[in-house]
Amino acid sequence: MQAFTLLNGLVAPLDRANVDTDAIIPKQFLKSIRRTGFGPYLFDEWRYLDHGEPEMDCSQRPLNMDFVLNKPHYQGAQILLARENFGCGSSREHAPWALEDFGFRAIIAPSFADIFYNNCFKNGVLPIVLPVETVDRLFRELVEGYRLTIDLAAQTITTPSAATFVFAIDETRKYRLLNGLDDIALSLLHADKIAAYENERAKRAPWLFVGNP
C-alpha cells in the first residue's frame, strides 16, 4: 500500500449528501477480477451522458459537462470535498479503488459510512472527518485553483489563507497509513496469540472446531 504523509492538492467539491457506492462505481464494473483500472468509471452515471459498460473506451464517451469532475479547473484534483454519509451502501472496495485510480488521495466530509471509511485506509486514501460548519466553510471558500495541505503526522488541514483545522484519526490507522504498512503482515506478528485463542476457544465452543460436514 502507498504511504500517505503530506499532500498539497487541488480540491474538487461534490455538493451532495449520501453519495452511495453504487454512484461511486456502478455494479457492472464490479465484474472485473482486477484491482486496478476503475478510475475511468468513477461516478460513471454522473460523469458520462451514455450508459457505461466494462472495457469501454471512456475517451470516446460523451461527457456530462455539468458534472463537477468534468470542469476544466478541477482536472488533476487529489482531494474530494463531500457532504454527510459519504460512501454509504455496499462494502465494495472498488469504490476507494476507483477514487484512488482517478487520482484522489483524500476525501473530506462531515461523516462517512463505516465500511467505506475503513476500506479507504487499506488503499492509501485518507478519509477526513471535519465538523459540518468547517466543511460548509470549505465549500464556501472553494474557488478555482483552491488547494489544501494535509499533514497526516500533524493531523492538520491548512487552507490557502493559512487557516488550520485539526482532524482526529485512530493511532493505529495513522501509523499504518504513514508507513504504508501491510495489515496482514502486522496481524501475523500475533500468530501465536491467534493460535492460543483458538486452543482456548476450542474448549469453550468445540462445535466450531469440527470442520464442515
- Which stretches of the chain bind other proteins, using CB under 8 A? 15-18, 20, 22-23, 26-28, 30-35, 45, 51, 54-55, 83-85, 88-93, 96, 111-115, 118-119, 122-123, 170-173, 183-184, 187-188, 190-191, 193-194, 197-198, 201, 204-208, 210-213
DSSP 17-54: SS-BHHHHS-GGGGG--SSS--GGGTTHHHHBSS---T
Question: Nearest approach, Cβ of 54 to other proteins (angstroms)?
Answer: 6
Nearer of residues 9 and 43 to other proteins, judged by Cβ: 43
Angstrom distance (rounded) from CA 152 to CA 149: 10
Q: Is 184 left (phi over 0), alpha (psi -120 to 50) or beta?
A: alpha
Question: Nearest approach, Cβ of 176 to other proteins (angstroms)?
Answer: 9
User: Residue 165 forms beta bridges with which residues?
Assistant: 157
- For the beta carbon of residue 85, count every other beta carbon within 10 angstroms: 17
Nearer of residues 55 and 57 to other proteins, judged by Cβ: 55
Question: Nearest approach, Cβ of 35 to other proteins (angstroms)?
Answer: 4
Question: Nearest approach, Cβ of 138 to other proteins (angstroms)?
Answer: 14
